Amino acid sequence: TPSTSLSKEELLELDQKYVWHHMSPHNPNPMVLVSGKNSTVTDIDGKNYLDGMSGLWCVNVGYGREEIAKAAAEQIQAIPYVPMSQGNVPSILLAEKLNEWLAGDYRIFYSNSGSDANEVAFKIARQYHHQNGEPLRYKFISRYRAYHGNSMGALSATGQANRKVKYEPLSSGFQHVAPPYCYRCPFGKTYGDCGIQCAKAIEDVINYEGAETIAGIIMEPVITGGGVIVPPAEYLTKVREICDKFGILLIVDEVICGFGRSGKQFGHQNFGIKPDIVTMAKGMTSAYSPLSATAVRSELYDVFKQPGADHHFRHVNTFGGNPASCAVALKNLEIIEKENLIERASYLGDELRKKLDGLLIYKNVGDIRSFGFIAGIELVEDKKSKKPASPEMVLKIITECKAQGLIIGRNGDTVPGYNNILTLSPPFTTTDEELDFIVSTLNKAFSNL
């Protein structure tokens, strides 16, 4: 941190004057965070908070990792920048490592953010179909409630109206389907007796749109930012079958679920499917440096190399594959492997879920959902009506937790009045005692309601 003699109040005044924060109405008391260690962040006044959200679902290995800082510094000293058209050592080694983690044969295209990675996926999918002799395939299908990024294509794939309405016209060719949301089944069914209608509905949309126009389906293994919506176990297998039946590419957005967060290296590995394209960011560097990647099955890449094809994928990205970011990612993956942090995330996720289930005794806790070390608590007015809890009630819990030194998240405001899901996604270095602290703090906040 650059040294400053300014007080917290003076800094916040400058912040108010010059910095444009996103979503500021939801963040009435911003903090000025200056340091972090493991799962704890510290503000400029020296107050500690347990970061129950790993920043924004990304600081997987925890804060204060000196070995990552050292890897970045050494790489910046050696060579800070290499254009994408050339090779650099960390980006080559990282591409190999990602293949190992993906347990497949993928070509890696680097960029800088999750949104970037999804834009690249859309462009590659469209160009692939062109070069494969099916130029009509340009549409993408995604789910309502899902978030895929803030740039025009990624926002078009996003199924959250309130993020889009003021920014139209967006990109054309993006269709949405209902999410696999068992707690509020869009088809009015109950799991076990539903025939996985939510997957079948995708096939209906494909037929209505014309299968020969669909380039890809993009989905996260579970919808994270749109409410921690965990699909039935067989859903993704069915989606894979539908893609195969119609020659559609399956793009899996692992921006949040990837890199151990799901209890496996990648979220889709929990469902035993093989995506055609995988997009990743956040946890790839544990947020120590901006970096993202689009992994494309090698058979697709080979089509770009067919004789006579214009194999040039026209997408230049100044910072893509930045050597320092790739060095950071390599060190991050090394730490995860050395410290068995994926096993740890899986264990912590199971423990957290068991403990959170105890919150169901409160009348405002309607549903608890989890996937690996990601948890969602859906708040309602009462369990019978399932009416979403008021924004004031949700804010009260968040504020109370913050006062006790625990940062938690909130989402779901994809549908007006439904900003009612609390989220937890702590670093994998969280201790058992810290896990107990998370649950006891939530317990206190609910019993005070």
Q: How far apart are the first and last CA of the chain?
A: 38
| Position 291 contacts ligand PMP (CB under 6 A) | no
Q: Are 106 and 121 in contact (CB under 8 A)?
A: no
What whole-number distance in Å separates Cα of residue 217 and Cα of residue 251?
6
The set of residues, in sequence order, having a beta carbon less than 8 Å from that of 253 and lying 6+ positions away, is 114, 118, 146, 148, 218, 219, 220, 279
What whole-number distance in Å separates Cα of residue 433 and Cα of residue 413?
32
Size of the site for ligand PMP (CB under 6 A): 16
Give least dist CB 394 to ligand PMP, A.
Answer: 19
Strand-strand pairing, 365-371 and 249-253: unpaired
Q: Which is nearest to 394 in space by CA: 413, 419, 414, 417?
A: 419
For 13, the enclosing helix (H) or strand (E) is helix 8-18
* Segment 161-167 long-range contacts (CB within 8 Å, at least 24 positions apart): 161/414, 161/415, 162/413, 162/414, 162/416, 163/414
| Position 409 contacts ligand PMP (CB under 6 A) | no
Choose which of 51, 253, 413, 434 interacts with ligand PMP (CB under 6 A). Answer: 253
Choose which of 65, 129, 148, 297 interacts with ligand PMP (CB under 6 A). Answer: 148
| Closer CB to ligand PMP, 251 or 324, in the complex | 251
Q: Encoding tokens for residue 154?
A: 């990624």
Give least dist CB 325 to ligand PMP, A.
Answer: 13
| Position 255 contacts ligand PMP (CB under 6 A) | yes
| Position 256 contacts ligand PMP (CB under 6 A) | yes
Residues 8 to 47 in contact with ligand PMP, rule: CB under 6 A:
none
Q: Are 150 and 118 in contact (CB under 8 A)?
A: no
CA distances from 182 to 196, 206, 324, 368, 378 (A): 10, 22, 43, 12, 12
What whole-number distance in Å separates Cα of residue 97 and Cα of residue 89?
12
Give least dist CB 309 to ligand PMP, A.
Answer: 30
Burial of residue 43 (number of CB atoms within 10 Å: 0-12, 13-18, 19+): middle
| Position 155 contacts ligand PMP (CB under 6 A) | no
Give least dist CB 257 to ligand PMP, A.
Answer: 8
Chain position whose Cβ is nearest to ligand PMP: 114
| Closer CB to ligand PMP, 281 or 445, in the complex | 281
Choose which of 101, 147, 181, 271 interacts with ligand PMP (CB under 6 A). Answer: 147
| Closer CB to ligand PMP, 186 or 290, in the complex | 290
Per-residue x/- marks for ligand PMP, 84-123, CB under 6 A?
A: -----------------------------xxx--x-----
| Closer CB to ligand PMP, 281 or 326, in the complex | 281
The residue range among 40-48, 119-127, 143-151, 379-387 that interacts with ligand PMP, by the rule CB under 6 A, is: 143-151
90-99: b (≥16 Cβ within 10 Å) or e: bbeebbebbb
Choose which of 51, 220, 276, 367 interacts with ligand PMP (CB under 6 A). Answer: 220
Give least dist CB 6 to ligand PMP, A.
Answer: 29
The residue range among 28-36, 102-110, 248-256, 413-421 that interacts with ligand PMP, by the rule CB under 6 A, is: 248-256
The residue range among 218-226, 364-372, 390-398, 400-408 that interacts with ligand PMP, by the rule CB under 6 A, is: 218-226
Q: Are 91 and 317 in contact (CB under 8 A)?
A: no
- Interface residues with ligand PMP (CB under 6 A) are 56, 113-115, 118, 147-150, 220, 224-225, 253, 255-256, 281
